[in-house]
Amino acid sequence: MRGDPASDRVWTVPNLISLARFVLAIVAFWAIQQQAWPAALILFVVAATSDGIDGWYARRFDQVSRLGRIFDPLVDKVLICGAFILAAGDAGPILPWMAVLVVVRELVVTALRAELERAGSDFSASFSGKVKMVLQCVAVACVLAARSWPDLWPEPVSLGYLAIWATWAAVISTAWSGLEYLWAARSLIR
């Protein structure tokens, strides 16, 4: 892709989609802080579900760019880390240590990916990393839904219970995929 003028384009449709997702994330964070749970849920879901559109569009219409390869995963990290941090609380289901785990995993994997790709190795997202992202999005959506409508369903299938299970699934997959990336980068760590 080096020397390809198409890879240097900034104002492409995929990059504009990523920019819109970034703005949606910031507005969703504001809604979380205001405890406007239904608005936060809608904004988060739109930002999270539109994640695949930019990548698909970039590949389909040959608009892959250097900026896009950096900006899209950055927006994913901002969306997930910010949502976990802002939704964390002592009352759960996202506990503060869980938010720390998510942020640390993202920082470590980003650093490892940058170093390995600088060295010429491919360190693309793994299947477990993609599953982790889906489970994290589901967990945040369930937490926001549970806060929006706490009495929607009776126990034991309440949104609160779904949020607890989704959060634990996200945390376990986050730890697992982080360990998987560390294992893949063991030669760099040594």
- Specify the CATH number for the domain of residue 153: 1.20.120.1760
The pLDDT, as a whole number, for residue 184 is 82
Q: How far apart (Å, rounded) are the C-alpha atoms in residues 110 and 102? A: 12
CA distance 117 to 114: 5
- The predicted pLDDT at position 1 comes to 44
**Prediction pTM value:** 0.88
pLDDT winner (highest mean) among 38-47, 70-79, 112-121: 38-47
Q: Give per-residue burial for 16-46: e unless 16+ CB within 10 Å, then b.
A: ebbebbbebbeebbebbeeeebebbbbbbbe
**Among 122, 114, 148, 127, CA closest to 34:** 148
More confident residue, 136 or 59: 136
The mean pLDDT of the chain is: 88
Distance between CA 169 and CA 54 in Å, rounded?
26
Give the position of tokens 């703005």: 23
Average pLDDT over residues 126-141: 93
What confidence score (pLDDT) does residue 141 get?
A: 97
146 pLDDT higher than 90: yes
Pick 56 or 30 by higher pLDDT: 30
Q: Is the pLDDT of residue 106 over 70?
A: yes
pLDDT of residue 156: 64
Instruction: Name the residue range of residue 63's domain.
Output: 5-189
pLDDT score at 112: 86
CB-CB contact of 178 with 113 (8 Å) = no
Q: Quote the pLDDT of residue 39.
A: 98
Looking at the structure of the chain, the number of domains it has is: 1
- Across residues 48-55, what is the average pLDDT? 87
